[in-house]
Every structure is written in structure tokens, then in C-alpha cells.
A = this chain, B = another copy of it.
Amino acid sequence: MKFSTRGRYGVQIMVDLAQHGTEGPISLKSIADRQKLSEHYLEQLVPELRKAGLVKSIRGSQGGYILAKKPEDIYIGDVIRILEGPIAPVDCTNELDGESCCEKTDFCITREVWVKVRDSINDVVDSISLADLLHDCNKEDVKRLSELFE
């Protein structure tokens, strides 16, 4: 029960863009350097965020990416679902009715568990915006930075 690197790196990319977005387009290279990730691998992920309308790209020299919306309007759930596909702890929770997948078992008694888990995860990630994360991050940054001088 793990998120893959796609969702994790995706959130890191968005946070990085939010933190540096005031400085004009941010190149993948600079994100990869800061976050210690493979630039080439990120190249596979960011276009999907672009196609989904979460970031905009500027090609060519001095180009890069910027957020397509305010951090307040970008939810972590969207980032994760774009890169990982729908959040569904088991496949049959994706379907509208549980009929087609569950004829094997006793009327799919266990389905209730997976549906509740699915809804709970989606509720959490859909309740956290990029702005929420940044806000906490800044407070944390200040705290840790000040600790360095104690």
C-alpha cells in the first residue's frame, strides 16, 4: 500500500514550483537539482501535469514551468490522481456498482472496507491545497532555521 514515486515526485515538483514560482519559469533541471531527483525522469511526469492544466510550460532557452493556477486552487489529490491514476485500494472500488467484479465472492462483503479506505484517502488529499503545504512549510522553515543558531 504505497504511493509510487510518480505521485511523490509530482507533489515535490508542485511544491518546488510554488516556492520559486515568483522568479519566472523554473527549469526541470533546477527542480531536479534541488530535490535530488533525476531530471529525465521528471521529464516524464511534468507533461502530464501540463496536459491536466496544473502547470504551464515555456519552451526554449530560459524556459521552464510555472503553476497554472493559484496555490490555493491546486489540490494534492489532483496531482496524485493525474500521476498515479484513480486512488482505489482495490480495483473493484472503481466501478459504479460492485456487480461485475464481485460475483466470485459472497456478495462482496469485503467491498465495504475498500470503499471506506478509498473515500478516506481521497478526502484527505482533496482537503490539502498547495497553499496549505506552503504555509506549514514556511513556519517549519523558520523554526528549523532558527534552531540552527541556538
Q: Tell me if A97 counts as interface (CB < 8 A to partner B).
A: no
Q: Tell me if A68 counts as interface (CB < 8 A to partner B).
A: no
Number of copies: 2
Complex interface: chain B residues within 8 A of A90 (CB): 2-3, 8
Q: What does DSSP make chain A's interface, helix, strand, loop or mixed?
A: helix
Q: Tell me if A110 counts as interface (CB < 8 A to partner B).
A: yes
Q: Interface code A71-104, partner B: CB below 8 Å = 1, 0 otherwise? A: 0000010001000100111110000000000001
Q: Is the CB of B3 within 8 A of A84?
A: no
Q: Is the CB of B2 within 8 A of A113?
A: no
* Given A2-B90, A123-B120: A113 and B76 interface contact (C-beta under 8 Å): yes
Q: Interface code A1-15, partner B: CB below 8 Å = 1, 0 otherwise? A: 111100110011001
